[in-house]
Amino acid sequence: MYTGIVQAVRPLADIAAYNGGKTFTVSFTDDLLDGLKLGASVNIEGVCLSVTGISGNNVTFDAMNATLERTNLERFSAGDGVNLERSAKMTDENGGHVIAGHVATTAVVEEISTAEEKAFIRFRVPEDWAKYIFARGFLAVNGCSLTVAEVDDNLFTINLIPETLRQTTFAHYKPGDRLNIEVDHQTMVLVDVIERTVSRVLPGLVAGR
């Protein structure tokens, strides 16, 4: 599990295709390497990936085609930076919210501003997933825990403070790009339970009239 507090933006040293997916090589700093082992989970741009190799400061991760199709990892090239967070320990402070690194869907950037006095990102989410997103609710965008500022149907706006811009890859995105979205799991369960309950009860109430 993760907290959604991005620890660093690290460059992709290499991307290599293999039959069924791609191998991503990320250059880690010494402190990020501390205690890292093969098989460990790391959040890369919002996607939970397992360490498949460690060579010096270079760490490799494999992403199958199913993962590439469901996320925005396909947009990256060698040299690009990615949001990175090591998996959280039970004793770690959680300044964000609980994130699994399981991307629900991707959103299309409609508008983005990196002006320090009014930085924001506005994006459109598929309708099937928009029902789980509420104003002032938690949302993981590219692995970053953020609060939704405005909601207009399936168009959502998130304000970005200077520290978020500095510590993440958002400043490198532009309209038309896709973002990895993970909705809050508890919110999703609550919405689904209410929908199922209403669908069962409502027909009975109508029939009793």
Rounded to whole angstroms, how far apart are CA atoms 75 and 68? 9
| 124 C-beta neighbours (distance < 10 Å), count | 15
Q: Which DSSP state fits 120?
A: E
Residue 51 backbone dihedrals phi, psi, to 5 degrees = -70, 125
User: Which domains, and CATH codes, for the chain?
Assistant: 8-86 (2.40.30.20), 105-192 (2.40.30.20)
Please enumerate in sequence order all residues whose Cβ is within 8 A of that of 79, keeping only pairs 6 or more positions apart, or say none: 11, 12
The model's pTM is 0.88
Rounded to whole angstroms, how far apart are CA atoms 36 and 49? 13
pLDDT means per 10 residues in the chain (209 residues)? 94 97 98 96 98 98 96 96 90 74 96 89 94 92 95 94 93 96 84 81 54
